[in-house]
Structure 1
């Protein structure tokens, strides 16, 4: 692109950035400000909760299993309806609480998820042929016979057989319709005994377990029908018990403070980039400002719900966006320091940085996609925000940053070396001059990690993990206070019972309170708490709306899915790393590093007795995403140096690679932490409880990439299979040692008179050095035949014996010459 058109495009982007921020913050015309367009989760904004009770005679383990299945189906159904980030909780034995963020009408919410919501397929005469449990998948497709849309269904093997038999009966005309308006050849789809669709079998019996429902649907109509079908059938019939509008757990004020804190953090990042990278920092700041407004508006446009895990994904994606720029800038400054002109260095820097940027971003994108597909609830919220951030971050770094940096490089005034952060000595600012030895001290790093993990294990076993209400369940008391009271006053009133409660508002006008505690209180204990509240606030036992035990919101299903998602994401990342880096050793070291970071965060929770609630899952996911990205950047430099510096010892090569990327690792970690520090200081306790583990995860990720993953790769490389060349060298060395040993024995067997001759001094000395000379000769002969292809073979383990034998040989010759002169 010509320089003139680059300048025009740069002005266009600048206008988009300024106008975009104005529209995003203030709104214009039909476009509302982002605060009015963004959907907030129940933990931030509040919403509706619905309590439903199962009508069943099941007991014990069968009931528990059925309730867990029902919990999972409801969660899926609410997601399909567009009410993302639900909290579905099993309360007591037969009740389920559904919390719907952003919803305002309890009755409308009940109608959306269905009171019983049982999906069934029936013939026109009302005969039930199969239920929704046999539906394997439902999706929107195009109608091949018209310009509209259709719904594609797929059944499992059992459902396919039942559906085929039903279509045979319907198509043969053997069924007489008993429902007005339904054809004899129709298959009715019922939800709560209400017909949601009644397509006719008009082209013959349907086999194979797949069919398509047509009917000139609009896209919205097809999507709604798909959502209703895909929600599946509930294993149990549910009946509404209670419902209410609930206020936020964290509170809108805390969100506002978090927003202000985030803006302060963003401003600090912009300043830091300019200080560290001068003109390059300005280009990165423009790209970052565009990145923020694109991500926020995409989330608002797609109806994404912002929750705490979503905030975690947003924070991490900001760090990733900065990271892509930092990688590019480091490359450009290396090229300038190597003596290239600014223009050439810019072109080469972008070219050489692209592989690293793509590898690091794609690896984390793979993890995010897997987490979104397999994870549930809060896991999806994190993954979705993270995916949007990664894609937008690549665009802004590759397109926007490259545009502005290219203009700077082509400009006479802006293309000076000082504008690119290069000082008069030719070195980049913040350049690390000291030679660092990470591999030499790797055992110290191992000991530090082992000590932290061991300490965490001791605290975890001795004191136990501090599981919060989301993991343990507990007791719930809901009361109508008749007016809005301060939650702090309620907490003070029941302080003597040491419940450590979670108190939230509920009901119209926030006149009700809900007290939840992890302690399981029996009826007498609950009565005492209620009595104390009555004495302090003038309420009576008639004002008790509900009191019951409830199960964990982070149920077994959610935990299993989160673990499975992380496991599959790890496998996929391992395969990608193997494909890109051509060695399993890189992938194995990277995944061990991720495992190390996860365990470090868990140990942190155990040591400092931090409550493990929903934010814990977001913290672990942040560690997985950040750690692998940081590690890939270091490994990419090791891979490049292995190709360019084959003769360098492996330990020195790895040390050099870490040193070359150390500035980038520290800068990325600093920018990510900078966003969190203001939130830690300014936000409320709920946000603070959420941010601290994330900060620990970021620090652990940076540490492991430098001090754990690279040393582990070194360990794996040392223990790889011995090559054919090395076997030949070892055989030649062994043979020469045997020969030298035999000569030494023959020399010792000579008469003492002959040994005392002057010439024998030389012979004896030569015999003593014969093994070493033989080693050197054999190794040199073998080395002439072939050259090692793997740099690891020419590392410390391969070169040191050769150097040692050569030095011994030289010393022997000098000693012999000295004796001859004497």
Structure 2
């Protein structure tokens, strides 16, 4: 009776927690409704935002100056959203799309007029200017228990040298900060600053923020002036958002039903924990002001998959312990204990990747990393703490018989290592076919992949309609038929009967044809139709950031796996399997000719995270079995046994994640399908590689490579 009361109390606590978080997601906290799901900042693709166009004061800027300006502006506007996009329009304009905000005037005011910045010594000589400034960020510091408001200034190598010399010379005097010809601040030099990092004290946080903002915008290579600004609607349209939301709900319900059917009472506990996970993620997304876009949704899908995976690992362990004759209570405790190392290693490895992508990446990469990290942290808590708490409560309520948990049947051991050549052949054929298709694409369409507007740029057309604005899908089809191109992006201009349409680069004849078609079909005024060439939103610097981030993340993951498993061969085979999965997904892009845009980077990063997590589970079981093996045991038997023991986990986890993505694919609009198709391929490939490639590859490295010849 005592246990039942405790079970009721514990279950009630969890249900109240879910109810409380649900209320927060519906209503929010305080006047600003923090935590409310309806206030989550959505990206341009889901909800639109502010679009601002700047023009250079300099008439003929160089290509390098424009690229540098665009990249610095990209870093500047990421203070509003990691998903903000900056691209070149024409030869001397920079366009900024900032999702999640609706007040163009406020953004313009905060960005400020893009004038020139310089630091001037007391004798009127320039010490440093914008070319020497790397970053300027507002912040706080504690001094004798008192909060001080400061601007943290970071200079490049040359700037640090010049600033160090000046501050050493003028200690006790002021160095003026001059912006657009006016002194905006004159801080007194306290000490010589030789490391390139300075703090500028301000009276209030607001003053610190404004000064930091002014320094950042003034540090641009070119002086800019605003030429237009407007609020644009969602690229994907309301239909895409609604169908995606419905798909997510349906997919989640199917996953819950699957977990309950497969794992009985533990499945019920996992479902309750997953409900808590979902509402907690929604609260944090709004509370942390995260801008949610399609790539961000990919990060959440991956973290949901990892949350389910953690529960599957635990429940499989419980069933295995019951099969050895343990009591239910003992099986639950041992199951959680034995699953702990695989769950921690898998999640920490992916979290390392997310951290590197956050610090080194930009744009889409940073947004993906942010949502992934949030999801991983919350999923680990719900799987290891909440699921156990609920499962113990259900046990105390009377669900204490084996029939409620299921007993693991004797595992049939498959000879995976005997089929190494077959697995290599299958993988080799897929990868070689993928490379061959890259060549075919290069010959037929001019590029190895079907690069979209995000990667190669195109033409931006703004059209004003005399009456109501047609639906996004109608305009996409209309323009697509005119230019013979499927990829057309449409963003309504809020408050006006106008839209911004982005297409591939149009020829002069095509521009005339499109203009005439809008005049004839929609009675648009030809004088209001404007067209400009635009650069790629995924700039060369962003591509470099993404590649460098992935390389560093891979190295960090390799080191972590090496450290945890005490064997470089585990780390090496994990990275090879990761590369294998990425190449197979690349083959899918090459064969299907799906448009490669912003979501391509997020998709590949999702596959990397999913692949490494699946691999860790296999390696954890090999490590465990290897530690307990007897002298008579063969390493080959250990590998085959370990893979066979975890095969149900690999299949069930992949199936639940696949379900979530598949429902999005079925119900989503075309752009969502283009995003989810390669994700599904990656999930299937990840399951295949975790079962057939990783363990057998480690076995080959362990037994066939590096062996010394014996006499």
The answer for the alignment partner of 1:337 in structure 2 is 323
| C-alpha deviation, 1:468, in angstroms | 1.2
Q: 2:143 matched to 1:144?
A: yes
1:39 counterpart (38, 41, 52)? 41
The answer for the alignment partner of 1:699 in structure 2 is 684
The answer for the alignment partner of 1:485 in structure 2 is 469
My pick for the range that moved more, 209-218 or 384-393, is: 209-218
| C-alpha deviation, 1:204, in angstroms | 4.8
CA distance in 2, matches of 1:532, 1:196: 52
2:354 counterpart (364, 368, 374)? 368
CA contact (8 A) 1:39 1:300 kept: yes
Distance 1:558 1:205, change over 3 A: closer
- Residue aligned with 2:143, SS: coil
- Residue aligned with 1:18, SS: helix
CA distance in 2, matches of 1:159, 1:301: 37
CA distance in 1, matches of 2:557, 2:217: 31
Equivalent residues in 2 for 1:297-376, closer than 5 Å: 297-376=283-362
The answer for the alignment partner of 2:9 in structure 1 is 8
Equivalenced residues, count: 697
Equivalent residues in 2 for 1:102-121, closer than 5 Å: 102-121=100-119
Q: 2:571 matched to 1:587?
A: yes
Distance 1:195 1:263, change over 3 A: farther
Distance 1:492 1:581, change over 3 A: closer
In the alignment, structure 1 segments of 5+ residues that lack a partner are: 173-184, 423-427, 732-822
The answer for the alignment partner of 1:17 in structure 2 is 18
Q: 2:427 matched to 1:439?
A: no
Distance 1:344 1:196, change over 3 A: farther
The answer for the alignment partner of 1:421 in structure 2 is 406
Q: Deviations over 1:348-379 (max 9, x none)?
A: 11111111111111000001111111111111
Distance 1:643 1:519, change over 3 A: same
Q: 2:242 matched to 1:264?
A: no
CA distance in 1, matches of 2:200, 2:503: 49
1:134 counterpart (132, 142, 167)? 132
CA contact (8 A) 1:114 1:192 kept: no
- Residue aligned with 2:220, SS: coil
Q: Deviations over 1:194-224 (max 9, x none)?
A: 55533222x3544443433234544x65455
Equivalent residues in 2 for 1:660-671, closer than 5 Å: 660-671=645-656
For the pair shown, the structure with the greater C-alpha radius of gyration is: 1
Equivalent residues in 2 for 1:14-413, closer than 5 Å: 14-25=15-26, 30=31, 31=33, 34-56=36-58, 63-80=62-79, 82-123=80-121, 127-136=125-134, 138=136, 140-145=139-144, 147-151=146-150, 152-168=152-168, 170-171=170-171, 185-193=173-181, 195-201=183-189, 203-218=190-205, 221-222=207-208, 225-226=211-212, 228-229=214-215, 233-409=219-395, 413=398
CA contact (8 A) 1:483 1:511 kept: yes
- Residue aligned with 2:88, SS: strand
The answer for the alignment partner of 2:446 in structure 1 is none
The answer for the alignment partner of 1:575 in structure 2 is 559
Q: 2:540 matched to 1:556?
A: yes
CA distance in 1, matches of 2:15, 2:45: 36
| C-alpha deviation, 1:125, in angstroms | 6.5
| C-alpha deviation, 1:408, in angstroms | 4.0
CA distance in 2, matches of 1:664, 1:223: 50
Q: Deviations over 1:611-665 (max 9, x none)?
A: 1111111110100111000000101101111111143222221111011111111
- Residue aligned with 2:461, SS: strand
In the alignment, structure 2 segments of 5+ residues that lack a partner are: 443-448
CA distance in 2, matches of 1:368, 1:501: 30
CA contact (8 A) 1:484 1:510 kept: no
CA contact (8 A) 1:360 1:632 kept: yes
| C-alpha deviation, 1:699, in angstroms | 1.4
- Residue aligned with 1:239, SS: strand
CA distance in 1, matches of 2:334, 2:116: 62
1:654 counterpart (639, 659, 663)? 639
Distance 1:126 1:241, change over 3 A: farther
- Residue aligned with 1:547, SS: strand
My pick for the range that moved more, 4-13 or 275-284, is: 4-13
CA distance in 2, matches of 1:576, 1:29: 42
CA distance in 1, matches of 2:560, 2:105: 48
Distance 1:47 1:124, change over 3 A: farther
Distance 1:676 1:481, change over 3 A: same
| C-alpha deviation, 1:564, in angstroms | 0.8
The answer for the alignment partner of 1:632 in structure 2 is 616
Distance 1:496 1:199, change over 3 A: closer
CA distance in 1, matches of 2:394, 2:514: 69
- Residue aligned with 1:278, SS: helix
| C-alpha deviation, 1:708, in angstroms | 1.4
Distance 1:236 1:549, change over 3 A: same
CA contact (8 A) 1:77 1:232 kept: no
Distance 1:191 1:284, change over 3 A: farther
